[in-house]
Structure 1
Amino acid sequence: MKNMIVIAIALLTLLLTLLLTAACSASPNPEPSAGSASAGLPASLPKPDAAEQEALLASLAAIDPRLPSDTAVDKARRLCGRLLGQSPEDQLIAAAKAEFTGGDVPAVSDEDAQRVLSAIGANGFCR
């Protein structure tokens, strides 16, 4: 009887170990955190065509010529995802400021962040 209990405990331990190992090694499906740039983004972000991209870069340069043109399209696409996800305005402004602050731009004002969002929304690719 004692042998059967020991065997049962050993089998349960082995089974639990296998289940935990399988659960830990399964590829995770990460959920974006609330503070991350990708929070609330659709799986497939709209992409501007060549004319829309040129117009977008011109609009952004008119807001602040220091805004980085080499990464601006990707930043605009991420912000577009937030616009389409109907994030609250304060979160949109914070996201625009976070996306475009850095490098040659020490800080993006709330007004400029709103102008960036308006430029993205009016561009035509963000639908």
Structure 2
Amino acid sequence: MKRKTRNWVIGGAALFVIGAVGSLFQDDDSGEAEAKPKPSVTESVKKESKPEEKPSKPAAGGGIPSPDPAQTARLICALRTIEPGLVAKEDRAVDRARNVCSDIKADKGTATVRANVKLRYEGGTVPSLTDEQAGQVVTAIRSSFCN
């Protein structure tokens, strides 16, 4: 009887270890595309010891424009035509377009706006954009909602 009990305990412990190790290799199904790492204890202490900064008020009429549903559809269609990878995650593509629109509204130079397009959209599903494609993205953003 003792041997049988010992085998059950060893078997249970083995299953526990296998399950624990297996859970380390599972993907996170929480739906978050980009999980942010939890801050370390040191970072948490640093944040708590700093005085809170008050958010600055946006300038009058200076908010970043948001496309309505019809404008969003036109924007996504135009970006997909330029490079399908630009809209692999449509919400992210729209957020990036809003930031480009902010650059346009801030009267940043054409070269700067195009360079920022490349910085915002390159990587992942779009390894690189040509200068021509960056210009096409700016045109798509202007014609869809940022005029």
| Pairwise TM-score range, normalised by the shorter structure | 0.5 to 0.7
Gaps of 5+ in 2: 1-49
Gaps of 5+ in 1: 1-23, 31-41
- Residue of structure 1 aligned with 2:53, choices 13, 17, 27: 27
Inter-CA distance 26–54: structure 2 relative to 1 (3 Å threshold): closer
Q: How far apart are residue 29 of structure 1 and its match?
A: 6.0
1:58-77 matches, cutoff 5 A: 58-68=77-87, 69-70=89-90, 71-77=92-98
Q: SS in structure 1 opposite 2:86?
A: coil
1:1-127 matches, cutoff 5 A: 25=51, 27=53, 43-68=62-87, 69-70=89-90, 71-123=92-144, 125-127=145-147
TM-score normalised according to structure 2 size: 0.57
Q: How far apart are residue 89 of structure 1 and its match?
A: 1.1
Deviations 1:33-75 (A, max 9, x none): xxxxxxxxx8511100100000100000000111134311000
Q: How far apart are residue 126 of structure 1 and its match?
A: 1.4
TM-score normalised according to structure 1 size: 0.66
Moved >3 Å (runs of 4+)? none
- Identity within the alignment, %: 32
Q: How far apart are residue 90 of structure 1 and its match?
A: 1.1
Aligned residues: 92
